[in-house]
Structure 1
Amino acid sequence: MLENFPFYLILIFAIVMIMMVADKIKVAYPILLIVSGLLISLVPGIPTVSINPEFIFLIFLPPLLYEAAWSISWKELWKWRRIILSFAFVVVFLTALSVALVADYFIPGFGLALGFLLGGIVSPPDAVSAGAILKFVKVPRTISSILEGESLLNDASSLIIFRFSLVAVSTTQFIFSKAIVSFSWMVIGGIGIGLLIGWLFMKFHKYLPTNANMDTALTLITPYMIYLAAEELHSSGVLAVVSAGLYLSHNRHSFLSSASRVRGYNVWQSLVFVLNGLVFTVIGLSLPTITAGLEKEGVSFYSAIGYGVLITFVLIIVRILAAYGAVITTIIARNFIKVADKRNPGLKGPFIIGWTGMRGVVSLAAALSIPVKLDNGNDFPQRNLILFITFVVILLTLVVQGLTLPYLIRKFKMMTTEEEEDEQRVYNDLKHELAEFALLHLENNYSDALKEQPMLRKMASKWKDSKILNEDADMTAESRAIYITILSQQRKWLIKRNKKDTKIDERIIRRHLHHLDMEEEKMRFI
């Protein structure tokens, strides 16, 4: 490990450079990372990267899922709960079933049990890939909410299918009644354990004398403790982490201070940035190890590629059909029950949802976790072929769908100018209403202090100005750029003053610099 330490340092530096290139050329970074990892693996003398699946599941998965759950809107998740649950559970099962049938018919040596195992591995789309791609294009909030919500739950459902299939292959027996009980405990127990531990951590934050640094440290260990506790009790660690993340996110303002929220946000953004970069690069680097295993099973390289292309095609077609099926079901159901949105979804939206099916880290980790030996000591059947097919699926969906998705979204004109203007109008109206509320509260409850305190009068004046402003007077891109330039000049002035005046305590200068940094950061949300 230590002899390869310089290689890993260079690898992290390369990841940062690749992400910079991705931002520059407007390509989702998972695509460039996995392709770069693949190319790096072909360089002679590069250390062989062997991925430990437990390392992926334990180190990478809990924080990535937790951060995703923390970021999503509970209101939007509940609003689109029917279609999200259908994609996260029903569509995942149908996808696994389709893969099982195709693999059983076309791939020699595969039965239904192995087919379901492969289906459970490749059925869940990757949340990170879709999020990275959608960052460069604008889509209606409806589609992004559905994709975000689905990605939180489909990992759990696919891993449940994977576990049951693994038992069926390993023991050659499958008892339906026991499977139902086990499935119920994995779902209900996982959610219950996540909510319970999440509630305990919320009480720790709320009643213990913590500060921002302690709160941030607690948030970092929370997903790991939840995942480990759920897995030890043989329930779904994924569902436990997701349910806890949603619960704590929904109540964040009741137990975290503003300082804890700001610092925690910055720490988590950096952590997720590094984890995502590492995991996608490692996927590309793992190809030589995966390819070498094909020779042991006597499968030709080109045949294995063909099987991977076939399974990828099945995944894409099933997801697109499922997206249109969900639309048809919604149109029929809204005549009998209340649905979230009664507008006609059209043909473009379902296709985009169907095309957003890139696979990623969960699929590879699940494939790698297949044991090398069966319980009876024999080699696990088709293990290396399953690994290779999984790699091909991840590579093809990321490159083909990932590169074409932004073009399709722009071609379909998913986000109209009217929708963008309406969103900005709602934001401006809410800002003015908020200023009016603050002004009335100040005048009604602190009228004497308002007369005596100049600073309060200044605040009231600011809110009055905000109240009378119309949307044409809001900060434009040009005024934002000018303000950021002024902040930069103020920063330079402070640094020069600090160098010239030796009597000023540098800590005071740093306080002013921090204030300028906060002002500039605030511009991102205006």
Structure 2
Amino acid sequence: MHTVETVLLVLMLGALTGIAARYVRAIPLPLIQIALGALIAWPQRGLHIAFDPELFLLLFIPPLLFADGWRIPKREFFALARPILLLAFGLVLITVLGLGYLIHWMIPAMPLTVAFALAAVVSPTDAVAVSAITRNLGMPHKTMHMLEGESLLNDASGLVAVKFAVLATLTGVFSWSNVAKDFTWMAVGGLGIGALMGWGFSYARDAITRRVGDVAATQMVLLLVLLPFAAYIVGEKIGVSGILAAVAAGVATNFADLDRSNFISERLQTEGTWNMVEAAFNGAIFLLLGLQLPSIIGVTLMDAGHEGWKLVGYVAVISIALLLVRWAWITLGVHGALRKAHREGKMAEKPSHLLNLATTMAGIRGAVTLAAALSIPVHLHNGRPFPERDLLIFLATGVILFTLVLGAIALPLILRRMPPHEDTETQLEERNARTVACKAAIASLTLTEEDMQQHDEQWVAQYQEVVGRITQEYRNRIHLLDDSSGVATSTEAQRDTPEMVHERRQRLVKEMELRVRCIQVERDALYAERQAHRINDEALRAMVSELDMAEVSLRKRLAVACRAAGLKPGKTAA
């Protein structure tokens, strides 16, 4: 099959499996995609794709890590910096050393440096798979943020560890001082070059959009999509971590976006573009992983014959040891940092044995592990084969499957046993922010003496009439926000009886539903005009986009109003 046809097929299957996962909720999306990839690659006449690890790391990993760095809540990331760093760097070091010696002891034919390489290969975690498995199961928000932060950083630390272990195997020389020096340079240099490129892009974008506004939104979004690839390539060219460069570029760009509240079109396009990129690339990654399974696991087991069960046993021992090391590190090394974060209010959920167990089972391995395993060179410098390379790839792939299947079974069971958790702190912050925004909008409507002198009485009367209607709408929203918190803050609200409050909420719900209905009627009329050839496609898209944004905003307010009134959306207060 031609390369272009293969790419299109993988993207199509990724989209179809994403739709199928909405109907088969019992099976996580990554497992569906891996199983489908293995199915279409098996048997001999199936689809086979040559997996180039360097090309894979360049095409798939930078944009996904950039998007994670761009999306991850920065306040929570820095508030939980200590446990994240302990997991991303401390746990990787412990895993490489402890698991490396265990593998060498269990498989004497595998040299110690190769065993360290295998331990480094299986050290990075995959937050994408965890998110797909725990969706709608109640994984605490702060814990999920911590796992995302860990995955962002341990991809880089794990791959750097693989590089040093492979180098020690190739040269036969290993120096802790050189490792520490090179690791520091790669980490700090990667973060620095990524942040510099992110801020540089943001500065250039601001300079351009100050002149042309949102006219160049599409071009800016395209350049933003190319930014993680540029950061990765530049980082690798100068000898630092390209992965950390992509992450840092995403974080820096997100900070710069905080000053771009007026660029609505660019923001909507950016959000839609990244949603599509993440869905397409995540699906392609797991499908490619499944496509490699027959050639890695199936062929290896058939060649091993009766020794195949021993290889499966190696996979089970390594996977269980990997999770035990993770559990011990979380319990002994990270638990104290989590308790401190909880006492300081940085983490809502209190650390417990169940939470530690859930965090342990969330240590699922994924595509980065496979790419790292396949990146192991085929030959040494002297031309001899790399020791036990095929076995290393088989064991790494087996660990991916073991942790993914175990996580898909164990995480839902653990999360269901945990007490229900509601992020009330974030909800309160959002409610307060909405109230502040409403009050600021009301304050901006005040008519000054200078304005009254510049206009006649009729203009002032019309303005005040409009202001009165808009102000009343904002006051209704403020009352709704105050009442939903259970605390009456205004004198008027304190005098209201529960019946009056409920009646006002019902009126507000009815008004919003009528506004949504009017927007839908407008949209239908616009499509009818287009079908009658009275407007063109460009005008249709522009006007429908305005109505879509208005409806999205109104529906969010309607959902809040319905919850406060005890109604379901669509069930009016008639």
With normalisation by structure 2, the TM-score equals 0.82
Structure 1 segment 69-108 matched on structure 2, within 5 A:
69-108=69-108
Question: Are residue 236 (structure 1) and residue 236 (structure 2) matched?
Answer: no
Structure 1 segment 64-213 matched on structure 2, within 5 A:
64-209=64-209, 211-213=216-218
Question: Are residue 311 (structure 1) and residue 342 (structure 2) matched?
Answer: no
1:101·1:115 contact (CA, 8 Å) conserved in 2?
A: yes
Q: 2: distance between equivalents of 1:156 and 1:455?
A: 57
Q: 1: distance between equivalents of 2:414 and 2:423?
A: 19
Deviations 1:301-358 (A, max 9, x none): 33222211111111111112222123543389789x9784598422222221111111
**Distance apart, 1:428 and its partner CA:** 2.9
- Comparing 318-327 with 292-301, greater Cα deviation is found at 292-301
**Corresponding residue for 2:451?**
448
**Corresponding residue for 1:499?**
531
**Corresponding residue for 2:456?**
none
- Comparing 458-467 with 64-73, greater Cα deviation is found at 458-467
2:330·2:356 contact (CA, 8 Å) conserved in 1?
A: yes
**Corresponding residue for 1:13?**
12
Q: CA distance change for structure 1 residues 461 and 367 in 2, over 3 Å: closer, same or farther?
A: same
**Corresponding residue for 2:35?**
35
Q: CA distance change for structure 1 residues 96 and 413 in 2, over 3 Å: closer, same or farther?
A: same
Q: 2: distance between equivalents of 1:306 and 1:181?
A: 37
**Corresponding residue for 1:431?**
434
**Corresponding residue for 2:400?**
394
Deviations 1:170-226 (A, max 9, x none): 111112332222111111111111111112111111112562111101111110111
Amino acid of the structure 2 residue aligned with 1:16: A
- Comparing 27-36 with 229-238, greater Cα deviation is found at 27-36
Deviations 1:244-293 (A, max 9, x none): 21111122132572221211110011011111111101101112322446
- Comparing 49-58 with 37-46, greater Cα deviation is found at 37-46
1:137·1:410 contact (CA, 8 Å) conserved in 2?
A: yes
**Corresponding residue for 2:491?**
none
Q: CA distance change for structure 1 residues 259 and 325 in 2, over 3 Å: closer, same or farther?
A: same
Question: Are residue 356 (structure 1) and residue 362 (structure 2) matched?
Answer: yes
Q: 1: distance between equivalents of 2:476 and 2:305?
A: 76
Q: 2: distance between equivalents of 1:446 and 1:217?
A: 48
Count of residues in Structure 1 that have an aligned counterpart in Structure 2: 520
**Other structure's SS at 1:266 match:** helix
Q: Give aligned-pair identity as a percent.
A: 28
Q: CA distance change for structure 1 residues 275 and 178 in 2, over 3 Å: closer, same or farther?
A: same
Q: CA distance change for structure 1 residues 481 and 457 in 2, over 3 Å: closer, same or farther?
A: closer
2:523·2:547 contact (CA, 8 Å) conserved in 1?
A: yes
Structure 1 segment 320-339 matched on structure 2, within 5 A:
320-330=327-337
Q: CA distance change for structure 1 residues 383 and 331 in 2, over 3 Å: closer, same or farther?
A: closer
Q: 2: distance between equivalents of 1:334 and 1:263?
A: 36
Q: 1: distance between equivalents of 2:187 and 2:429?
A: 38
**Corresponding residue for 2:487?**
none
Deviations 1:139-187 (A, max 9, x none): 3222122112111111111111111101111111112332222111111
> What is the aligned counterpart of 2:473 among 453, 456, 462?
462
Question: Are residue 219 (structure 1) and residue 218 (structure 2) matched?
Answer: no
- Comparing 487-496 with 283-292, greater Cα deviation is found at 487-496
**Other structure's SS at 1:374 match:** coil
1:53·1:369 contact (CA, 8 Å) conserved in 2?
A: yes
> What is the aligned counterpart of 1:511 among 526, 532, 542?
542
1:321·1:354 contact (CA, 8 Å) conserved in 2?
A: no
**Distance apart, 1:510 and its partner CA:** 3.3
**Distance apart, 1:505 and its partner CA:** 5.0
Amino acid of the structure 2 residue aligned with 1:348: L
In structure 1, the gaps of 5 or more residues are none
Q: CA distance change for structure 1 residues 216 and 152 in 2, over 3 Å: closer, same or farther?
A: same
- Comparing 507-516 with 431-440, greater Cα deviation is found at 507-516
Superposition RMSD on alpha carbons, in Å? 3.2
Amino acid of the structure 1 residue aligned with 2:383: G
- Comparing 86-95 with 403-412, greater Cα deviation is found at 403-412
Amino acid of the structure 2 residue aligned with 1:17: L
**Distance apart, 1:506 and its partner CA:** 5.2
**Corresponding residue for 1:284?**
290
Q: 2: distance between equivalents of 1:342 and 1:15?
A: 35
Q: 1: distance between equivalents of 2:431 and 2:471?
A: 19
Q: 2: distance between equivalents of 1:175 and 1:277?
A: 40
**Distance apart, 1:138 and its partner CA:** 2.2
Amino acid of the structure 2 residue aligned with 1:406: P
Amino acid of the structure 1 residue aligned with 2:471: A
- Comparing 104-113 with 82-91, greater Cα deviation is found at 104-113
In structure 2, the gaps of 5 or more residues are 453-458, 485-501, 560-574
Q: CA distance change for structure 1 residues 474 and 355 in 2, over 3 Å: closer, same or farther?
A: farther
Q: 2: distance between equivalents of 1:76 and 1:277?
A: 27
Q: 1: distance between equivalents of 2:407 and 2:509?
A: 32
Amino acid of the structure 1 residue aligned with 2:365: R
Amino acid of the structure 1 residue aligned with 2:105: Y
Amino acid of the structure 1 residue aligned with 2:180: I
**Other structure's SS at 1:316 match:** helix
Amino acid of the structure 2 residue aligned with 1:262: L
**Distance apart, 1:5 and its partner CA:** 4.7
**Corresponding residue for 2:264?**
258
Amino acid of the structure 1 residue aligned with 2:327: I
2:82·2:337 contact (CA, 8 Å) conserved in 1?
A: no
Q: 2: distance between equivalents of 1:341 and 1:279?
A: 32
**Distance apart, 1:76 and its partner CA:** 0.5
Amino acid of the structure 1 residue aligned with 2:258: H
Q: CA distance change for structure 1 residues 479 and 7 in 2, over 3 Å: closer, same or farther?
A: farther
Structure 1 segment 347-386 matched on structure 2, within 5 A:
347-386=353-392
- Comparing 142-151 with 379-388, greater Cα deviation is found at 142-151
- Comparing 359-368 with 430-439, greater Cα deviation is found at 430-439
